[in-house]
Chain A
């Protein structure tokens, strides 16, 4: 039987910071990865926005988006089920996950439009 992992519960305070922490990690990875690639092996500017680094970072963005969206859905569903403090914490966590999801999508948008290293 699977043991219940306490901090994965939707009302755990961890959920209040996890979503935005994931956003931060994604952000740092995207910025750091881009900087390192541009410093070491910049792709030719002729390629436009369709370079390896854009694709890799885009893929990472999609994975992150997927996870955050799933957590949003979990927390929102839990918020509808629960009452009182548990409901409050789940709803708050859900809102924060939702914002993180949108943030990843929004900040990741330029990956589609811009060449990486100029």
Chain B
């Protein structure tokens, strides 16, 4: 949050530093006055009128004017900062790009609607273009989650049955962490989102690669894995061209994702097989059943095949 990469986050960080400076000053002065009041001793008797005047000065000055002016300034300057994250119509009149994000226990579903032939669906990774505002339409599949990319801007809750909107923009390409920010159960801590902003051209390439007909391989090498998948995984997971279930994360491009298990481990050779074997140890309580009925070899085959799913 203190290393902003978008206009909204930058404004907020600016407001924060401003408030910090001013409030530190206020804090220092108030405490100093109290200590001073302790040190000094009232020697002479004051008349009642004098006491009344003095106390009024303190109370009206410190108790009314100081907070009054402060909050007025804050309200007048602070509230418009939030305007940037509202989904107001753009000045040019065109509609900003929309990305839908849906929170699940404990992973993210990311959808790119209106992308030519059918939408692109992925999970636990969010790729967005640099330099243009993007409207995120967020909701939830089960309990309440919250969508938050600290370096780009504020957060918004993801509610079942409702769609909330927030507008964010990334100014330069890069990788930002996203995180579920509303307590959502056992693995709330491991509900991270890998966010990558790339130049619009790269983004379009990335998107169109995922629109092309899926290449799930028809070679002999992965035949066993595909069968095992159909038997054991397809009830929950979707792989374009193989299965359609939507209970767990969409795996159509899982091989291209940088992390596994919503940020639990980095993707590398053999990572998926390892995840499949010990995922309940890596992410205790996650909703995928253990695969004790599958031997290590099958898991390895499955992992190898899934890693090839990289458009």
Residues of A within 8 A of B (CB): 45-46, 102, 106, 109-110, 113-115, 118
Which B residues are closer than 8 A to A by beta carbons?
68, 71-72, 75-76, 79-80, 83, 86-89
Taking the closest CB of chain A, its distance from the CB of B161, in whole angstroms, is 14
In the assembled complex, the CB of B138 is this many whole angstroms from the nearest CB of chain A, namely: 15
**Docked pose: A106 CA to B72 CA in angstroms:** 8
Give the distance in Å from the alpha carbon of A46 to the alpha carbon of B86 in the complex.
Answer: 13
Question: A110 and B88: CB pair below 8 A?
Answer: no
Which residues from chain A contact B87 at a C-beta distance below 8 Å? 45, 118
Instruction: Identify B75's interface contact among A46, A102, A109, CB under 8 A.
Output: A109
Q: Measured between C-beta atoms, what is the minimum distance from B133 to chain A in Å?
A: 14
* Among B76, B80, B88, contact of A118 (Cβ-Cβ < 8 Å): B88
- CB neighbours (8 Å) of B88 from chain A are 45, 115, 118
Q: Taking chain A's interface residues, is the majority helix, strand, or loop, or is none over half, making it mixed?
A: helix
Q: Given A106-B72, A106-B75, do A113 and B89 touch, yes or no (CB 8 Å)?
A: no
Contact between A110 and B75, CB atoms less than 8 A apart? yes
A118 and B75 contact, CB distance less than 8 A? no
**Is the beta-carbon distance between A110 and B79 smaller than 8 angstroms?**
yes
Complex Cα gap A22–B170 (Å): 45
Residue numbers in B under 8 Å from A46 (CB-CB): 89
In angstroms, Cα B86 to Cα A113, docked, is 14
A113 touching B79, Cβ below 8 Å: yes
Q: Could you write out 13 A-B pairs with CB less than 8 Å apart?
A: A45-B88, A45-B89, A46-B89, A106-B71, A106-B72, A106-B75, A109-B76, A110-B75, A113-B79, A113-B80, A114-B83, A118-B87, A118-B88
